[in-house]
Amino acid sequence: MNENSPNLTRRLVGSLWVNWAIAFGAIALELLLPRLISKAWLPLPVFALAYAELVYMRTQQARESLSCTAMLKVSTLTLFWSALIMLIINILNSEMLFDNLINWSNSNKEIPYITCLVVFPTMIITALWVMAGGYIQNRQDPYGSQAEIREGNGVVSTLFSRESRYQVQLMLYVALGFSGVEWWYYFKYYFNVNLNTPDVFFFNWMPIAFYFLSLFFIWSRYQNMAAIIGPIAENALHNGIAVRYLVISGDRMLLAINEYDRWDTPAITRLGTLSQINDQTVRDAFGRISGCENFGMRFLYDTGFDKTVPEVKHYAVFLDKEEYPAESALDSWFSLDQIDRFIKAARLSAELADEIYRIFTITMAWKTYDRQGRRLYPIKHYRPTFRLRDLKDWDVDYSDLSWMSIAENNQDRPFFHTRRLWRKITGLKA
């Protein structure tokens, strides 16, 4: 077994627990802050906490090709909106501005904020928003960003996607449970005179105690998950790295029906470990499985559950004629228009659909905009040509996912500058 396998497994699984600890820990800290800071100034440190967590989330997304940040997104949004709600309450409760307009006679301004009454209902909304928005934006990874292509199609990637869903759903259930308990206690037993010992227990210490219990529960869960991922990672290293070839001749691509009754490339193989693979071994492997002798080849990009250990290497192969010695009766050459119809009819494999979407989107962004998203040509909504035969000559790096963001936010999109400023400040899509 490669010595990097257990270290990689511990790091990936450990990152899941750390993200949960930080996300839920930030919420627990917000529940504790009213005991330390007056309600007039409370929104400010909560805003700061939200920004700090946002910076951490952006760092995780930039450093890891596969990271479970959906829970961090829920926590960040919860902190931001709960702080904004508390700020609005402070403004409405201001004697200078609204004292003569709104009757606050029943309020007790000396009692600290009961933040749980705001935080948990807000968390319900943000968790539902992240879940619903994820499903709408990206059917293949409902908790990822639309601009982030799935980094691998293996079991490990699937486990991370499901774990992301599990964390958000768990936090939703926690928020639902505590919202019910806290509001029930508030209406049933709370008196707006002071905060007695049972009040402090229900409003502050009980959620915080649950947070520490969840750390042990989640840690145990991920220790069991490590026992699953470890053999998978080891097996992947022993089985070698998958190599997918997109076989192109002119403006047509060779496809074949796979075992799942979907059209896919017929040229797929497995090679040795990463240290044993280079362009020549990949080229020789294609010659063996295809029977072709004269062909051009271009590396496209890697995908995998970790940037240092790719699961799949993607290449494009260019033939002078539509002659493929290994072609079977089920193989056929298709134009881009026909492939587009297959995509709309869900007749392509998920792997091939990912490849075509990534290549097309990055190419069109590269041919239309600069690195800042500004037009290369003074023509609004200019659409350059896209031909398969030109793929071998395009000087663009398909491993650079920043082009996906440019395709999504550019000078031809409404509020371009506002979107850029928002993304620069928050790291989130506007």
Give residue for tokens 């800042």.
372
CA distance linking residue 399 with residue 257, whole number of Å: 27
Q: What is the pLDDT of residue 102?
A: 52
CA distance linking residue 155 with residue 113, whole number of Å: 46
Token output for 339: 């492939």
- 12 burial via Cβ count (<10 Å: 0-12, 13-18, 19+): buried
Q: What is the pLDDT of residue 90?
A: 78
Q: What is the pLDDT of residue 25?
A: 92
Phi (first) and psi of residue 131, to 5 degrees: -65, -50
pLDDT tens digit at each of 430 positions of the chain = 444 445 556 666 777 888 899 999 999 998 888 888 887 788 899 999 999 998 888 777 666 545 567 888 899 999 999 999 988 887 877 766 655 455 555 555 667 778 888 999 999 999 998 887 654 344 334 344 333 334 444 555 666 677 788 888 999 999 999 999 989 988 888 877 677 888 888 888 899 999 999 999 888 888 777 766 666 656 655 667 889 999 999 999 999 988 888 999 999 988 866 556 788 888 988 988 888 888 999 999 988 655 545 678 899 999 988 878 766 655 789 999 999 999 888 889 888 998 999 999 999 999 999 988 888 888 888 888 999 999 999 999 998 888 988 888 888 888 777 777 766 665 555 4
Q: What is the pLDDT of residue 290?
A: 86
What average pLDDT is seen over the chain?
Answer: 79
Query: Cβ distance 66 to 157 under 8 Å?
Result: yes
Q: How far apart are the first and last CA of the chain?
A: 45
Per residue in 269-285, pLDDT tens? 888 665 567 888 889 88
Per residue in 31-49, pLDDT tens? 888 888 887 788 899 999 9
Token output for 399: 């491993």
Q: What is the pLDDT of residue 328?
A: 65
Q: What is the pLDDT of residue 139?
A: 39
Give residue for tokens 């063996």.
288
- 257 burial via Cβ count (<10 Å: 0-12, 13-18, 19+): middle
